[in-house]
Amino acid sequence: MCLTCGCGTNDVFIRGKQARGASTAAAPMRIHLDAATQGEASRIIKLEQDILAKNDGFADKNRSLFSANGILALNLVSSPGSGKTTLLVKTLEALKGKVPLAVIEGDQQTDNDAERIRATGVEAIQINTGKGCHLDAQMVERSLPQMSLHKQGMLFIENVGNLVCPAAFDLGEAAKVVVLSVTEGEDKPLKYPDMFKAAKLMLLNKCDLLPYLTFDVARAEEYARRVNPDIQIFRISATSGEGMPAWLEWLRLKHITINSLPPQAGEGAGMRGVGYIQPVA
């Protein structure tokens, strides 16, 4: 188990079924010390391999699938309790009927968030990471065939509530959207800079509570821009609805951009085998 946050990587469940872990992963190669290797001279092997290369490979695969099908995929990240799921529910309610929607929910345990999403009528698949502290690209890749993704749709991936680990793992999304709520500290962008650096958009949530708090909005935004000068910021409240139009407009424009990208060479041919992506009626 990881010392910093207690993470581990065994036992991933997608829709309650084990997708990775003790019974599904390739067993680690056992020590194999036969007589032939005893006393053999050692040699140096140069590798220079990126530790995240495997994840990035799956992320590229996901991204090609999304872009070839005009799907806007977003990775929602935040600390626990920032209001990601409420934001998502309100967003889905606003977009329902206008564009095909789907959600992947990541949590260590329980199906609670997926249930909240399904109550809006939108399909949601729950990935339980067990002891894992983040979603990775392979988990997303494995869950995609279990959903009915529609061309020209939007896929929201709600990551495990954690401002640290999900920063390093590309899932193939068009953008990471970081949610920071005003009930947290305004210095979170400096405390967790990797995440704010990785995000394209920051949603400052629960702004309806500002009159009751000492949260310094200008300072929080300045800190976020120190880490990432290009980050876009909207002040919103998923509960009261304030600022939501700006977020919905951002989504609309991103969706248009994804759909106006010409398919990359070879993508069209590769996509024919993907039967589960259904055309919009």
Partner 1 sequence: MHEMSLAENVREIIEDASRKQHFQRVKTVWLEVGKLSCVEQEAMRFCFESVMKDTIAEGATLEIVETEGQGRCTQCGNEMQISTLYEACSKCGSYGLQVIAGDAMRVKELEVA
Residues of the shown chain interacting with partner 1 in the complex, contacts defined by CB under 8 A: 1-5, 7-9, 28-34, 36-37, 40-55, 132-134, 136, 164-165, 167-169, 189-190, 193-194, 197, 223, 225-230
Q: CB of 189: closest distance to partner 1 in angstroms?
A: 8
Q: Is 223 helix (H, G, I), strand (E, B) or coil?
A: helix
Q: CB of 140: closest distance to partner 1 in angstroms?
A: 14
Q: CB of 138: closest distance to partner 1 in angstroms?
A: 10
Q: CB of 40: closest distance to partner 1 in angstroms?
A: 5
Question: Taking the CB of residue 32, how many other CB atoms lie within 10 A of it?
Answer: 6
Q: What are the φ and ψ backbone dihedral angles of 35, each rounded to 5 degrees?
A: -60, -35
Q: CB of 179: closest distance to partner 1 in angstroms?
A: 19
CB 77 within 8 A of CB 195: yes
Q: Please say which residue, 101 or 220, places its beta carbon nearer to partner 1.
A: 220
Q: Please say which residue, 190 or 209, places its beta carbon nearer to partner 1.
A: 190
Residue corresponding to tokens 């053999």: 40
Q: Please say which residue, 194 or 216, places its beta carbon nearer to partner 1.
A: 194
Q: Please say which residue, 89 or 165, places its beta carbon nearer to partner 1.
A: 165
Q: Which helix (H) or strand (E) holds 222?
A: helix 217-227
168: tokens are: 């390093």
Q: Please say which residue, 1 or 280, places its beta carbon nearer to partner 1.
A: 1
CA 279 to chain centroid: 24
Angle at 111 between CA 109 and CA 115, to 5 degrees: 155
Q: Rounded distance, CA 196 to CA 183, Å?
A: 17
CB 216 within 8 A of CB 187: no
Q: Rounded distance, CA 250 to CA 180, Å?
A: 17
Q: CB of 17: closest distance to partner 1 in angstroms?
A: 21
**Strands of the 17-20 sheet, one edge to the other:** 17-20, 12-14, 123-128, 101-107, 154-158, 72-78, 175-181, 201-205, 232-235
Q: Please say which residue, 169 or 247, places its beta carbon nearer to partner 1.
A: 169
